[in-house]
Copies of this chain bind each other. A is one copy, B any other.
């Protein structure tokens, strides 16, 4: 009797919100497994009896060339699935190299998520299904054995004039260790928000794994929201101010708020080592710009500085003066990373040259690839072991 009840409860809970038309199918069908990963292949499946075409497109489908106003770009192409007698479309591909890929199906041209894949990530306003292929490159993207906690924290930002949200990672053992920790401030790019690094970036998993393996120091990681018009991610449906983010004076408000609001909040409310030797700042794309600005405007406050996929843009007449200020204040690590196919590649080269020209010791970590999360996850996995040592 109890078995029946539990089954009925499970089924009815799942059914809540289901529509009549598909209910019979649902109740009678076998579970559809998609994606199904084997040693050498991956199979994707979608039930779509009435569709004319079903395609798949994602990070693992062959790229095609496309002209844009910024020049020719490689963008993912699509592959067509085969329809089975039962209306189940499928495609089997050679397993792509270890990486976290996102993908969509195209059902008669409409992009959809894979309804049988529970792994879904939000990239800005879009949700994408996830294929996580195991291997050397991705081993730190899976759950570690010793896992840290993730906190969604609201704080006051008098500098911006809003109550705002950030995500804060505390390493395994934080609750009971009694010791103080160094802090990495990790900034997202345009289109992202406070959730980006922990979902797309797998920050918790990467730091958990590096710390468990003894490769990185146990550290707290603070992931704020870099859009000063927002209190929090759009998923909260909170109102946004009409604040023009393109106004450089106002954009500096966010950089100032990191130093004046966020760092003091973290140092008051978490058990941290509250000195420059135990503060790191890193960010991707727009957040790389914020990282460079924080380093230039507040020299000496962060001893570890890691701009990712960013560099020097346009005419910045005071750059030599700023870099001399930073050199004078001192720092322990300046770690700049960029991919050769990144559209910011030239600007990163320019920053590298300026750092050299001004005599600032630094690393220019050059990779293949472009302006992608594949690179940003790998960068985090590479620079986190260099911090606080």
Contacts and interface: CB of A to CB of B under 8 A. Distances in A.
Interface string A27-55: 10000000000000000001111111100
Contact of A51 (B68, B110, B113, B145): B110
B149 A152 contact: yes
Nearest to A347: B5
A274 interface: no
A125 B16 CA distance: 12
Contacts of A153: 149
Contact of A19 (B51, B53, B78, B150): B78
B246 A6 contact: yes
A23 interface: yes
A154 interface: yes
Contact of A314 (B2, B152, B191, B235): B2
Copies per complex of this chain: 2
Contacts of A235: 118-120
A292 to B, nearest CB: 13
A46 B149 contact: no
Contacts of A78: 19-21
Interface stretch (A99-107, A298-306, A354-362): A99-107
A147 B143 contact: no
A317 interface: no
Contacts of A245: 6
Interface residues of A, number: 102
A27 B373 contact: no
Nearest to A200: B16
A314 B5 contact: yes
Interface string A258-269: 000000000001
B16 A371 contact: yes
Interface of A: 1-3, 5-10, 12-23, 27, 46-53, 57-59, 61, 64, 66, 68, 70, 75-78, 102, 104, 106-113, 115, 118-120, 122-128, 132, 142-143, 145, 147-154, 163, 165, 172, 175-176, 189-192, 234-238, 245-246, 248, 269, 285-286, 313-315, 343, 371-373
Pick the 3 closest A-B CB pairs, nearest first: A13-B191, A19-B57, A10-B190
Given A10-B191, A22-B111, A108-B108, 20 more contacts: A1-B314, A9-B191, A13-B191, A13-B286, A17-B59, A17-B126, A19-B61, A19-B77, A20-B76, A20-B77, A22-B109, A47-B110, A50-B108, A51-B109, A52-B52, A107-B110, A118-B122, A147-B154, A149-B151, A175-B269
